[in-house]
Amino acid sequence: MKNTSSIPNAESILRTGILNQWYLVCRSEEVGARPLGLTRLSQRIVLWRDAAGQAHALEDFCPHRGAALSKGVAVDGGIACKYHGLVVAPNGTVAEVPAVESCAYHGEKRNRTYALRESNGAIFLYFSDGTSDEVPEFWLPEPLTSEEWSGFLYMTEWNCHYSGPLDNRVDPIHGSYLHNDTFTLGFGKKSSVIMLDETPDGFEIYRDNQAGVNIDHTYVTYRPGNNIWIETEIPYPKSVGGNFFRILGYPTPIDENRTLIWFFRYQRSSGWRRDLWRFFYVNRLDARHAYVAAQDEEMIETIDHNARHREGLFQTDIGIVRLRRMLHQIAKQQAQALQAAAQSVDG
């Protein structure tokens, strides 16, 4: 009987990150001809661009003795390890082994590969659970595909498990406290009942007594086997032109103690209003938004992941409870599929 104890269970999947999802891993401009080594979902990955400008992603592991391919160089036909020159092709096969006349695994697929898409200035990779070679169509929410919207990608790293920033995205009431000295979130009521509506592909939460003043409305969209997007509308005060912008994102786990925080901040606008907003964003708003994000970082980095065993949630945490349940169900299904796949191999 095959030992299935190494098959991940729901808890271990949740610890490193839900699988069968597209994740944003870095900015497009970070990937060039020089290989880039990243850790995402506790997996070491090397990214590089070939001479035609096409980006590739592979497991950052040399099949010879395990050195990091990201220390090597991009060559015609793949990436060459700096240690003894072995070349791995973008499809994960061993393409060249120049140090020896013949190598037993020449031509074999030895490295994990990642489906890759570039969009809105970012690179997204698909993290499969390995039970299927199929890659779902890459899906993006409307602001990221429509000409009517324009915006920027914000990115930083926090020293925390990804569940902290995720909980934070569905906790609207914190805007009125943690961010009450900021230019976008210093307004409105200090107490609300948070309402929750199920939607065809997720849920939305909103305040019972206020709209369009603070973090008042958040949408969670789950595309099974594709990705999860959390969108929040943030109003601008009249002093900076009114209107609102939308924050779209989902934190990408780096490892169990670090998280890549990224948001698209997009606004629906056109003509001179768009130009003006983009100008202000670069020259003033970006720094102010970074101040807000730093407030979140300071709080969330103090929350130990084990805190959830003794936390005392409020009614306003209803979105957190709903999102955790959603993630747990996804992880449980993935764990069951992995168990079933292991048993059928064992067969």
The Cα–Cα gap between 19 and 148 comes to 32
Q: Is the CB of 15 or the CB of 289 nearer to Fe ion?
A: 289
Residue list 11-70, contact with ligand FES (CB under 6 A): 62, 64-65, 67
Q: Is the CB of 15 or the CB of 64 nearer to ligand FES?
A: 64
Query: What does the DSSP 8-state code read for residue 285?
Result: I
Query: Checking phi first, is residue 271 left (phi over 0); if not, alpha (psi -120 to 50) or beta?
Result: left
Q: Environment class of residue 195 by beta-carbon count within 10 Å: exposed (0-12), middle (13-18) or buried (19+)?
A: middle
Alpha-carbon separation of residue 32 from 87, 123, 152, 207, 335 (angstroms) = 18, 12, 21, 45, 36
Smallest distance, Å, CB 62 to ligand FES?
A: 3
207 binds, among Fe ion, ligand FES, none (CB under 5 to 8 A by kind): none
By beta carbon distance, the residue nearest Fe ion is 296
Q: Is the CB of 71 or the CB of 223 nearer to ligand FES?
A: 71
Q: Return the bridge partners of 5, or none.
A: none
296 binds, among ligand FES, Fe ion, none (CB under 5 to 8 A by kind): Fe ion
Q: What sign for the dihedral angle of Cα 24, 26, 32, 35?
A: negative
Binding flags for ligand FES, 73-112, as an x/- string (CB under 6 A): --------x-xxxx--------------------------
Residues near Fe ion, by CB under 5 A: 296
Q: Is the CB of 216 or the CB of 296 nearer to Fe ion?
A: 296
Half-sphere exposure of 267 (CA within 13 A, CB side): 21
64 binds, among ligand FES, Fe ion, none (CB under 5 to 8 A by kind): ligand FES
Report CA 109 to chain centroid distance, whole Å.
27
Query: What do you get for the CA distance between the two ends of the chain, in Å?
Result: 9
Smallest distance, Å, CB 85 to ligand FES?
A: 6
115 binds, among Fe ion, ligand FES, none (CB under 5 to 8 A by kind): none
40 binds, among Fe ion, ligand FES, none (CB under 5 to 8 A by kind): none
Q: How many residues does the chain have?
A: 347
Q: Is the CB of 19 or the CB of 173 nearer to Fe ion?
A: 173
- What number of chain residues touch ligand FES (CB under 6 A)? 9
Query: What does the DSSP 8-state code read for residue 33?
Result: S
Smallest distance, Å, CB 64 to ligand FES?
A: 3
The Cα–Cα gap between 336 and 9 comes to 8
Residues that bind ligand FES (CB under 6 A): 62, 64-65, 67, 81, 83-86
